[in-house]
Amino acid sequence: MMARVMAARGWIVPAILATVAALQFCAAQMGGLSAWKGGGFGMFSTVDSPGSRFLRVALLTGGSRVLVPVPRELARAASEARTWPTEARLAALARPMVRGRWVPAAIVPVAPSPAALMIGPFRMQRPDEPPAAAIDAQAVLVELWKADFHSAECRIVAFPLQRMRLERSDRVVR
Protein backbone atom coordinates (compact mmCIF):
# COMPACT_ATOMS: atom_id res chain seq x y z
CA MET A 1 0.00 0.00 0.00
CA MET A 2 2.72 2.42 1.04
CA ALA A 3 4.77 1.52 -2.00
CA ARG A 4 1.79 2.32 -4.24
CA VAL A 5 1.25 5.66 -2.53
CA MET A 6 4.91 6.53 -2.92
CA ALA A 7 4.88 5.55 -6.58
CA ALA A 8 1.78 7.69 -7.21
CA ARG A 9 2.85 10.62 -5.05
CA GLY A 10 3.14 12.92 -8.06
CA TRP A 11 -0.68 13.06 -8.03
CA ILE A 12 -1.14 14.00 -4.37
CA VAL A 13 -0.65 17.76 -4.45
CA PRO A 14 -2.46 18.22 -7.79
CA ALA A 15 -5.37 16.34 -6.22
CA ILE A 16 -5.34 18.79 -3.32
CA LEU A 17 -5.37 21.75 -5.74
CA ALA A 18 -8.24 20.22 -7.69
CA THR A 19 -10.25 19.54 -4.54
CA VAL A 20 -9.83 23.06 -3.15
CA ALA A 21 -10.54 24.66 -6.53
CA ALA A 22 -13.66 22.52 -6.99
CA LEU A 23 -14.94 23.41 -3.53
CA GLN A 24 -14.29 27.09 -4.25
CA PHE A 25 -16.17 26.79 -7.54
CA CYS A 26 -19.19 25.31 -5.77
CA ALA A 27 -19.07 27.88 -2.97
CA ALA A 28 -18.95 30.69 -5.51
CA GLN A 29 -21.71 29.29 -7.71
CA MET A 30 -24.07 28.49 -4.85
CA GLY A 31 -22.95 30.39 -1.77
CA GLY A 32 -22.05 33.92 -2.82
CA LEU A 33 -18.28 33.59 -2.55
CA SER A 34 -16.55 35.89 -5.02
CA ALA A 35 -15.01 34.00 -7.94
CA TRP A 36 -11.77 35.95 -7.41
CA LYS A 37 -10.89 34.55 -3.98
CA GLY A 38 -11.00 31.44 -1.85
CA GLY A 39 -8.40 29.20 -3.47
CA GLY A 40 -9.90 28.96 -6.92
CA PHE A 41 -8.75 30.33 -10.25
CA GLY A 42 -11.57 32.72 -11.08
CA MET A 43 -9.59 35.95 -11.04
CA PHE A 44 -10.14 38.07 -14.16
CA SER A 45 -13.25 36.09 -15.09
CA THR A 46 -16.02 38.38 -13.90
CA VAL A 47 -16.77 41.97 -12.96
CA ASP A 48 -17.99 40.66 -9.59
CA SER A 49 -14.71 40.92 -7.67
CA PRO A 50 -14.52 41.88 -3.99
CA GLY A 51 -13.28 45.28 -5.20
CA SER A 52 -16.49 45.94 -7.10
CA ARG A 53 -18.66 45.05 -4.11
CA PHE A 54 -19.08 47.72 -1.47
CA LEU A 55 -20.77 48.26 1.85
CA ARG A 56 -23.21 50.93 2.90
CA VAL A 57 -23.79 51.15 6.62
CA ALA A 58 -26.41 53.29 8.30
CA LEU A 59 -26.96 53.85 12.00
CA LEU A 60 -30.64 54.05 12.84
CA THR A 61 -31.30 56.61 15.53
CA GLY A 62 -34.98 57.01 16.31
CA GLY A 63 -36.26 58.74 13.22
CA SER A 64 -33.10 59.19 11.22
CA ARG A 65 -30.52 57.22 9.28
CA VAL A 66 -26.90 58.25 9.54
CA LEU A 67 -24.51 56.87 6.95
CA VAL A 68 -21.17 55.96 8.50
CA PRO A 69 -17.88 54.60 7.23
CA VAL A 70 -16.63 51.18 8.27
CA PRO A 71 -13.95 51.79 10.91
CA ARG A 72 -10.41 50.79 10.05
CA GLU A 73 -10.40 48.28 12.91
CA LEU A 74 -13.17 46.39 11.13
CA ALA A 75 -11.43 46.35 7.74
CA ARG A 76 -10.87 42.60 7.87
CA ALA A 77 -14.48 41.88 8.83
CA ALA A 78 -15.60 44.16 6.00
CA SER A 79 -13.29 42.42 3.53
CA GLU A 80 -14.65 39.00 4.51
CA ALA A 81 -18.24 40.21 4.31
CA ARG A 82 -17.62 41.62 0.83
CA THR A 83 -15.83 38.51 -0.43
CA TRP A 84 -18.23 35.91 1.00
CA PRO A 85 -21.32 37.52 2.44
CA THR A 86 -23.15 35.37 4.94
CA GLU A 87 -25.46 36.33 7.80
CA ALA A 88 -22.69 35.52 10.28
CA ARG A 89 -20.14 37.73 8.50
CA LEU A 90 -22.54 40.63 8.17
CA ALA A 91 -23.38 40.25 11.86
CA ALA A 92 -19.67 40.19 12.75
CA LEU A 93 -19.41 43.56 11.06
CA ALA A 94 -22.69 44.99 12.33
CA ARG A 95 -22.37 44.03 16.00
CA PRO A 96 -19.34 46.17 16.94
CA MET A 97 -20.75 49.03 14.89
CA VAL A 98 -24.13 49.10 16.62
CA ARG A 99 -22.45 48.85 20.02
CA GLY A 100 -19.77 51.43 19.23
CA ARG A 101 -19.70 55.04 20.30
CA TRP A 102 -20.21 57.22 17.24
CA VAL A 103 -19.04 60.78 17.53
CA PRO A 104 -18.76 63.65 15.06
CA ALA A 105 -15.46 63.38 13.22
CA ALA A 106 -15.03 67.16 13.35
CA ILE A 107 -14.22 69.09 16.50
CA VAL A 108 -17.39 69.90 18.45
CA PRO A 109 -18.09 71.80 21.71
CA VAL A 110 -17.69 69.87 24.95
CA ALA A 111 -21.44 69.60 25.41
CA PRO A 112 -22.93 69.78 21.92
CA SER A 113 -26.65 70.18 21.42
CA PRO A 114 -28.57 67.16 20.09
CA ALA A 115 -28.83 68.90 16.72
CA ALA A 116 -25.09 69.64 16.58
CA LEU A 117 -24.37 66.04 17.49
CA MET A 118 -26.15 64.85 14.36
CA ILE A 119 -23.90 66.84 12.01
CA GLY A 120 -21.65 64.35 10.22
CA PRO A 121 -19.34 62.92 9.20
CA PHE A 122 -19.06 60.46 12.06
CA ARG A 123 -16.45 58.10 13.31
CA MET A 124 -16.47 55.25 15.81
CA GLN A 125 -14.42 55.91 18.90
CA ARG A 126 -11.67 53.49 19.77
CA PRO A 127 -12.08 51.70 23.13
CA ASP A 128 -9.05 53.52 24.58
CA GLU A 129 -10.45 56.98 23.85
CA PRO A 130 -12.20 58.92 26.63
CA PRO A 131 -15.95 58.74 26.02
CA ALA A 132 -17.33 61.74 24.18
CA ALA A 133 -20.89 62.78 23.44
CA ALA A 134 -22.16 60.19 20.99
CA ILE A 135 -25.22 59.66 18.87
CA ASP A 136 -27.76 57.18 20.15
CA ALA A 137 -27.81 54.37 17.61
CA GLN A 138 -30.55 51.82 18.25
CA ALA A 139 -29.78 49.64 15.27
CA VAL A 140 -27.45 49.38 12.33
CA LEU A 141 -28.34 48.57 8.74
CA VAL A 142 -25.54 46.92 6.77
CA GLU A 143 -26.01 46.59 3.04
CA LEU A 144 -23.64 44.81 0.68
CA TRP A 145 -23.92 46.22 -2.82
CA LYS A 146 -22.83 44.53 -6.02
CA ALA A 147 -21.90 46.32 -9.22
CA ASP A 148 -22.81 45.10 -12.69
CA PHE A 149 -21.37 46.68 -15.80
CA HIS A 150 -23.68 47.34 -18.72
CA SER A 151 -21.25 47.36 -21.58
CA ALA A 152 -23.51 48.82 -24.26
CA GLU A 153 -24.28 51.89 -22.14
CA CYS A 154 -20.85 51.92 -20.49
CA ARG A 155 -22.62 52.18 -17.15
CA ILE A 156 -22.05 50.61 -13.76
CA VAL A 157 -25.32 49.69 -12.09
CA ALA A 158 -25.21 48.73 -8.43
CA PHE A 159 -27.83 46.92 -6.39
CA PRO A 160 -28.02 45.55 -2.86
CA LEU A 161 -26.93 41.93 -2.73
CA GLN A 162 -27.59 41.33 0.96
CA ARG A 163 -28.71 43.42 3.87
CA MET A 164 -28.96 43.02 7.60
CA ARG A 165 -30.54 45.15 10.26
CA LEU A 166 -29.09 44.41 13.69
CA GLU A 167 -30.49 46.00 16.81
CA ARG A 168 -28.44 46.91 19.84
CA SER A 169 -30.12 44.01 21.64
CA ASP A 170 -28.49 41.71 19.06
CA ARG A 171 -31.79 40.98 17.41
CA VAL A 172 -31.64 40.59 13.67
CA VAL A 173 -34.61 42.16 11.94
CA ARG A 174 -35.40 40.53 8.62
Query: 112-130 burial, b for 16+ CB within 10 Å, e for fewer?
Result: eeeeebeeeebbbeeeeee
Distance CA 24, CA 16 (A): 12
Binding mask 45-64 for another protein (x = CB under 8 A): xxxx-x---xxxx-------
Number of residues that bind another protein (CB under 8 A): 55
Here the contacts of 68-76 (C-beta below 8 Å, separation 24 or greater) are 68/97, 68/102, 68/120, 68/121, 68/122, 68/123, 68/124, 69/121, 69/123, 70/97, 71/97, 71/100, 71/123, 71/124, 73/124, 73/126
User: Minimum Å distance from CB 82 to another protein?
Assistant: 7
Q: Which of 26, 88, 158, 172 is the binder for another protein (CB under 8 A)?
A: 158
Alpha-carbon span 63 to 106, nearest angstrom: 23
- Which one of the spans 44-52, 95-103, 129-137, 166-174 is the region binding another protein (CB under 8 A)? 44-52
> Is residue 137 close enough to count as binding another protein by CB under 8 A?
no
Q: Is 125 a binder of another protein (CB under 8 A)?
A: no
Distance CA 49, CA 80 (A): 12
Considering only 9-17, 95-103, 133-141, 164-172, which stretch makes contact with another protein by CB under 8 A? 9-17
Residue range at the interface with another protein (CB under 8 A); choices 97-105, 108-116, 157-165, 166-174? 157-165
Contact region with another protein (CB under 8 A), list: 97-105, 109-117, 142-150, 163-171: 142-150
Residues found near another protein in the complex (CB under 8 A): 6, 9-14, 16-18, 20-21, 25, 29, 35, 37-48, 50, 54-57, 67-70, 76, 79-80, 82-84, 120-121, 147-149, 151, 153-159
